[in-house]
Amino acid sequence: MGASVSFAIRNFNLESQAELEISKMKPSLAPRHPSTKSLLREQMSCHPEIKEEIARKDDKLLSLLKDVYVDSKDPVSSLQVKDGGTRQEPKEFRLAKGRDFNMMSIKNIPKGKISIVEALTLLNNHKLYPETWTAEKIAEEYYLEQKDVKSLLKYFVTFEVRIFPPEDKKAIPSK
């Protein structure tokens, strides 16, 4: 009973609704580029059969279109695909090195990563004591890959501020 009522409500005045939809203004074509307008006019004037070909309906194609039956199914949701895959292992974390520069805000760092403070510290240590702080020792200490540490030491340096006294003026001795 409920299905027949909902069917009747859904299909009420269906023909007039369809007619209204069909009689609505069709969307206009996108504006053509000014350079192509003259070319299109020229081609249409030279070949009037093109305009007829555009407006003509092909009965063979229409009959083939009537035989088309579309059957669709919902695609598999991405959540189901993700669940079926391999499960990710939890990341390993390490404690941050050092206790200065407000390191209390950083609880733990994933292995293979370093914080900005640690990067500056290891770059400075390597700069001051290159024999002690080699790429191998840094990689072992901070759980990094050796090729990454070598690239870090090669392409990044810490700033060093030096103040040179002017050569033309004599330095004033402090009292």
pLDDT averaged over every residue in the chain: 78
Tell me if 144 is assigned to some domain: yes
Reported as a pLDDT band with limits 50, 70 and 90, residue 103 is very low
Tell me if 115 is assigned to some domain: yes
Please state whether the predicted TM-score (pTM) of the whole model is above 0.85. no
Tell me if 101 is assigned to some domain: yes
Range of the domain at 146: 93-155
Residue 68 has pLDDT above 50, yes or no: yes
Tell me if 123 is assigned to some domain: yes
Instruction: Specify which residues 109 forms β-bridges with.
Output: 94
Q: Per residue in 41-67, pLDDT tens?
A: 888 888 888 888 888 888 898 899 888
Tell me if 100 is assigned to some domain: yes
CB 130 within 8 A of CB 162: no
Tell me if 119 is assigned to some domain: yes
Give the integer Cα–Cα distance in Å for 98 and 118.
8
How many structural domains comprise the chain? 1
